[in-house]
Structure 1
Amino acid sequence: MKILAILRPRAQLAAVCGAAVLAAGCAAVQTTQSGAVGVERKQYMSSLVSEAALDQEAAQQYSALMTQARGQNALDVNSAQAARVKGIAQRLIAQAGVFRPDASGWQWETHVLKSDEINAWCMPGGKIAVYSGLIDTLKPTDAELAAVIGHEIAHALREHAREQVSQQMAANVGLSVLSAITGSQASADLGSSLTKVMFTLPNSRTHETEADRIGVELAARAGFDPAAAVTLWQKMDAASSGGGQPEFLSTHPSAQTRIADLQAIAQQMMPLYQQARK
């Protein structure tokens, strides 16, 4: 959950892709349906960064990370936490088809990593990790935890990582360089880009807003109170004001701005929640 804000306006993205369309094969694609929340922004992806290739790279990196965590006795150490997170994630995943039907065929995985860090993420293709520090520090309710996991799932459904990798390639690499990259070098370049996007570079404010909106709708449809997204971020704000600011909040818009946005989304999604609870 890299909620670090770098504003990358739609006009800037269009200009970058427009200038590099011949060099990087950048084209508008539709990754998800709009849902009840109305996420309809066009996304620009490079043909050199296929969904299948990125999903394969993500699966390999995720497997390596989980193997490393297991070796450090940091993988699903608390069985109750692991079962709780997996159960909540499964309910959210069951609703993912509202935004993209093909997600039902993804090889979803969910694990809890032992770490004091307040963090969570979902890699392309549905590879989820929640850090124990988030659970131990924030002590979220199930609905609040659903807000976190739903937000991360939304990033994967919307293919934000692929979009960022595409932007990098479109902005920084010309056709002559790209055409020279073949075989293992191409794989290494893609893997390096994915690692940066997932664990170093910030998500844009637009990406975060989309993940908030989709995540709240997923939670509501799964029978979790959408208003819990508000109380979750109030807890996040409290954690950051204590001097131990979560990594994913470091340059994000103010908590009050985000909370106000989430309050409006939660109210909009309340009928879906009420229907799911019947």
Structure 2
Amino acid sequence: MKKTKRSPVFRRAAMAAAALALVAAAGCESVNTTQGGTIGIDRTQRMSSLVSEQQLDQQAVQLYQQTLSGARSKGQLNTNASQLARVRTISQRLIAQVGVFRPDATKWKWEVNVIDDKEVNAWCMPGGKIAVYTGLINTVKPTDDELAAVLGHEIAHALREHARERASEQMATSMGLSVLAAITGSQASSDLGGALANVMFGLPNSRLHETEADRMGVELAARAGYDPRAAVTLWTKMGQVGGSAPPEILSTHPSAESRIADLKQASEKVLPLYQQARR
């Protein structure tokens, strides 16, 4: 059989595809960052060795301090003592339960602060660096149970290392682009600190990550003595904020109907934990 001579363009494309496949496979490991808990989170995650937990925690400390410094310079950090006390009290009760999912997290250097900003948002960086915006408190007006649902959800993201998982994907993509650049002559670069800032403040979480955080969050709340069913009313209220432009915290979340249905099922599953904690 006569061989067909392939064009240079075809050969470069084949080389690029092979190189990208090698990059995607290299340096990745299958891990499960948390124990399943009663709620049963058992998905295996793919993490890049280029993005270690320790490296990301160090970057998180720097980024968190930069964020606090910026808020402090504008007179926006912890301006309301009663709000701060409330958020920290609820957070501490939730943090006391994190060992159920990962025992090492009980030794994290947790920090909790409130930033005076109209944005309806809250987040928890790797290593337990939490911020709640007053826009969430003042606009949604959550009960303590509902605020526990928000905080439990954000803490779950950190426990599950969703930021590291997303940064791993970014770094792998960046490496692939670098390999492609060597073949095509274009340019690409990667930076772990930039990747963390992007996944925390730029890119929205995936629907899979949001579902995991929802389920783990209701279990944390229940174990801390907060009614897990409040997650249903909380996210219903959140969905009503902003009309056609929902808050940033809701970006790419599952549809309202599927999310509420899942939350109802999850909260019922962990309801005995709440009832036991309230005795």
Q: Give the TM bin, normalised by the shorter chain.
A: 0.7 to 0.9
Q: CA deviation at 1:176?
A: 7.5
**Larger gyration radius, structure 1 or structure 2:** 2
CA contact (8 A) 1:21 1:27 kept: no
- Partner residue, 1:272: 273
Q: CA deviation at 1:67?
A: 1.1
CA contact (8 A) 1:20 1:26 kept: no
1:104 corresponds to which of 85, 99, 106: 106
Count residues with an aligned counterpart: 250
- In structure 1, distance between residues paired with 2:275 and 2:28: 41
- In structure 1, distance between residues paired with 2:206 and 2:220: 21
Structure 2 SS opposite 1:162: helix
- CA deviations 1:48-105 (Å, max 9, x no partner) are 1110010010001101110111110000101110110000000000000000000011
CA contact (8 A) 2:171 2:195 kept: no
- Partner residue, 2:119: 117
Structure 2 SS opposite 1:31: coil
1:41 corresponds to which of 40, 43, 47: 43
Q: CA deviation at 1:260?
A: 1.2
Q: CA deviation at 1:251?
A: 3.7
The normalised TM-score by structure 2 is: 0.86
1:222 corresponds to which of 224, 227, 236: 224
- In structure 2, distance between residues paired with 1:70 and 1:205: 33
Which 5+ residue runs of structure 2 have no aligned equivalent?
1-19, 180-189
- Partner residue, 2:182: none
Distance 1:209 1:251, change over 3 A: closer
- In structure 2, distance between residues paired with 1:247 and 1:264: 25
- Partner residue, 2:23: 20
Answer yes or no: is 1:258 the counterpart of 2:259.
yes
Which 5+ residue runs of structure 1 have no aligned equivalent?
1-16, 178-187
Q: CA deviation at 1:174?
A: 4.3
- In structure 2, distance between residues paired with 1:26 and 1:223: 38
- Partner residue, 1:29: 31
- In structure 1, distance between residues paired with 2:107 and 2:249: 29
- CA deviations 1:223-277 (Å, max 9, x no partner) are 000000001011112214x345212224433212211110111111100000001
- In structure 2, distance between residues paired with 1:250 and 1:104: 29
Distance 1:243 1:171, change over 3 A: closer
- Partner residue, 1:169: 171
CA contact (8 A) 1:26 1:170 kept: no
Question: Aligned partner of 1:143: which letter?
Answer: D
Q: CA deviation at 1:170?
A: 1.8
- Partner residue, 1:237: 239
- In structure 2, distance between residues paired with 1:84 and 1:32: 28
Answer yes or no: is 1:53 the counterpart of 2:55.
yes
Question: Aligned partner of 1:220: which letter?
Answer: A
Q: CA deviation at 1:22?
A: 4.8
- Partner residue, 1:6: none
- CA deviations 1:179-219 (Å, max 9, x no partner) are xxxxxxxxx81100000000011111110000000000000
Please identify, of 168-177 and 108-117, the stretch whose mean Cα deviation from structure 2 is larger. Answer: 168-177
* RMSD between aligned residues: 1.7
- CA deviations 1:116-136 (Å, max 9, x no partner) are 110000000000000000000
- Partner residue, 1:194: 196
- Partner residue, 1:3: none
The normalised TM-score by structure 1 is: 0.86
- In structure 1, distance between residues paired with 2:249 and 2:149: 15
Aligned residues with identical type, % of pairs: 64
- CA deviations 1:18-57 (Å, max 9, x no partner) are 753554x011012100000000000010111110010010
- Partner residue, 1:132: 134
CA contact (8 A) 2:28 2:48 kept: yes
